[in-house]
Amino acid sequence: MHITYLSPAWPPAGAANGIVTYVSVIRTYMLSKGHDVSVLADGRLYLRDGSVEDLDGTAVPTASFWPRLASRLDRRLGHHPFTGRRIARQLRRARRIVPIDLVEMEESFGWSAAVQRGIDVPVVTRLHGPQFLKPEGKDRMVPPEHARHRERAEGRAIRYAAALSAPTRVILDATCERYGRPASTGRVIPNPVRIGGADDRWCADACDPDLILCVGRLDRLKGADTMIAAFSRVLRHRRQARLVMVGPDGGMEQPDGSVIPFREHVRRTVGAATLDRVRFTGLLGQEAINALRRQACMTVVASQCENFPYAAVEAMAVGSPLITTDWLGSAEIVADGVTGWRTPVGDPDRLAERIIRLLEDREAAAAAGAAAWQICRDGYAADSVGARMAAFYRDVVEEHA
């Protein structure tokens, strides 16, 4: 098969995005099994041999009237329909370059519907985070009317998708119920993850007992404010504790609609004393993040909303003890008290309480880390997940034919 993935960015180095990570891991597996794979990102087609094709090179110049009008309309409509049509045109051009058998892309903005109408190969709509599952009002940088546009467009795309897949059962069931599609028509296949070897695993004796790690974009949706509020409470009980926050600064919305850097939010809300115990690294590569996971005594994911977060699963894959908020689908990934701990979303008191207890119980931390690594090796490794995904793709291609 020749599989084409739509990715928000490519190549993956330096891209802090779970979809990019997913495409990178599954692409590596498919190539290892003899399938041909291309990646479409930002108008460019990245082929397996390293060459790149510009799919917009023959398009109408952006200075002309119609592209400028489409761009203006896209800014006014939250689902950016003209971008979806542009992607469909790009894939039609891609088919003249490589023999694509199947396209997989996220449900975002409902673009998969435009792509399916525009090409004669099956399009798998992969649920990476439907708009309707995002907490209302938590992302003020997206106007409410734009969120409604996007939700309606995604609903149409999901309802009539040629094939639908999701990384967890609860996400698939909730989405199908929301949009009136039988859940039996979708397939639940987790996202694949690279598993750390024996030398790459977290070890209780080698970690820093006072260092806490949080990985994720620094904004409200990813729970960075919850993490900071919880950490300020932890410091009251353990003054020597330190926090490392890895991820880009997404900014914090203020009541007046302005956005300030996250570091300034920390200074205003919990003060300089807490800020002095926090280190912000910005974007880091996978190896650097895994090194921090092995160094820290635990990893925390405090998000308001997630789907199948690599920030959590990659921590489990190196055996790092994990505390996460109880977003929809977390129970399918983290068994509370066994492979990690779940705390209520947006509750810094409960999060701080769990962090303090884990700081004081190294034995429980080590047991959970080991169990999490085992679960990842058995259920999320690229070989097992990739084989299931390849079988699913074959079924979709055969049914389409």
Integer Cα distance of 327 and 375 in angstroms: 19
pLDDT digits (tens, 9 = 90+) for 43-68: 999 999 999 999 986 544 555 665 66
264 and 299: one domain? yes
The reply to whether 208 and 183 lie within a common domain is: no
8 A C-beta contact, residue 191 and residue 313: yes
Residues 233 and 207 in one domain: yes
Tokens coding 371:
């169990």
Instruction: Provide the whole-model pTM.
Output: 0.90
Together in a domain, 248 and 307: yes
Q: 53 and 143: one domain?
A: yes
Q: Are residues 221 and 210 in the same domain?
A: yes
Q: Measuring CA to CA, how many Å separate 59 from each of 30, 51, 97, 105, 112?
A: 31, 20, 16, 22, 21
* 109 and 202 inside one domain: no
- For residues 231 and 177, membership in a common domain is answered with no
Same domain, yes or no: 165 and 229: no
205-214, 250-259, 336-345, 366-375: segment of lowest average pLDDT: 250-259
Residues 76-94 have pLDDT tens digits of 676 788 899 999 999 999 9
In this structure, the answer to whether residues 147 and 283 fall within a common structural domain is no
Q: What is the domain range of residue 169?
A: 2-66+73-192+381-400
**Do 99 and 233 belong to one domain?**
no
**Residue 144 and residue 234 in one domain:** no
What mean pLDDT value characterizes the chain? 91
pLDDT tens for 222-268 read: 999 999 999 999 999 999 999 999 999 999 888 887 889 999 999 99
Number of domains comprising the chain: 2
Q: What is the pLDDT of residue 141?
A: 57
Once rounded to an integer, what is the mean pLDDT over residues 7-29? 91
For range 195-208, the mean pLDDT: 88
What DSSP state is assigned to residue 368? Answer: H
Residue 183: Cβ-neighbour burial (10 angstroms; 0-12, 13-18, 19+): middle
Q: Residue 172 maps to which CATH number?
A: 3.40.50.2000
